[in-house]
Amino acid sequence: MKKIVSIATSLLLVLVIALCAFLFIGKMNGGKTVLLGNEIMVVLSGSMSPTFNTGSIVGVGPVSYEQIKQGDIITFKDPEGRTITHRVLEITENGLVTKGDANDAKDTALVTKDRVIGEVQFSVPLVGYLIEFVKSKVGMVVFLGVPGLYLIVSQIWKLLRMIKEKEAAAN
């Protein structure tokens, strides 16, 4: 049983370190986290439900404006500078007409070439909640502080046990 707990704890620790490293590298890249050539973004609204829901992550890969087709899901900046991920309904001379799958109305502004970030390549449900939590102050404490404290306490415990064993062997 001790062996199973030890292995499980080690795996959890490696997972936590990997997640923190992944997010730290994203912070160093100006807030852009890239995985396999795709920028990872957290879905913050339900406008694309049921395709992907709030709390999902999407991988947004580069795409040229000319390659975008009707039905593609793209990520772009709106005129106010917010990052939006919606489906292309129509391609016009002046830009792309987009709409969130769950929205009743089309987006008011056309998406022009200079505002396209990329095309959604994949999505993973619920992982965004974890990423947003880890980015928070409480999340940092939980994901960095708790494993760190565990490592310190477990090493002190092992050291004390070794000292006791040496003392018992000496007597």
pLDDT of residue 148: 79
Radius of gyration of the chain (CA): 23
Phi then psi dihedrals of residue 18, to 5 deg: -65, -45
Give yes or no for residue 11 having a pLDDT over 90.
no
Among the listed residues 6, 49, 56, 86, the single catalytic one is 86
pLDDT at site 106: 97
* Cβ proximity of 127 and 118 under 8 Å: no
Q: Is residue 107 annotated as a catalytic residue, yes or no?
A: yes
What's the pTM value of the predicted model, to 2 decimals?
0.72
The CA distance from 43 to 76, in Å, is 13
- pLDDT single digits (tens) 25-68: 766 766 677 778 899 899 999 999 999 999 999 999 999 999 99
Cβ(115)–Cβ(77) below 8 Å: yes
Output 112 or 155, whichever has higher pLDDT. Answer: 112
Question: Given this model, what pLDDT does residue 50 score?
Answer: 95
**Active-site residue, 72 included:** no
Please identify which of the residues 45, 47, 101, 114 carries the catalytic annotation: 47
For residue 86, indicate whether it is catalytic: yes
Report pLDDT for 52.
Answer: 94
- pLDDT at 102 (0 to 100): 96
> How many Cβ atoms are within 10 Å of 113's Cβ, its own excluded?
12
Find the catalytic residue in 56, 107, 114, 136. 107
pLDDT in tens, 103-142: 999 999 999 999 999 999 999 999 888 888 877 888 878 8
Beta bridge partners of 42: 57
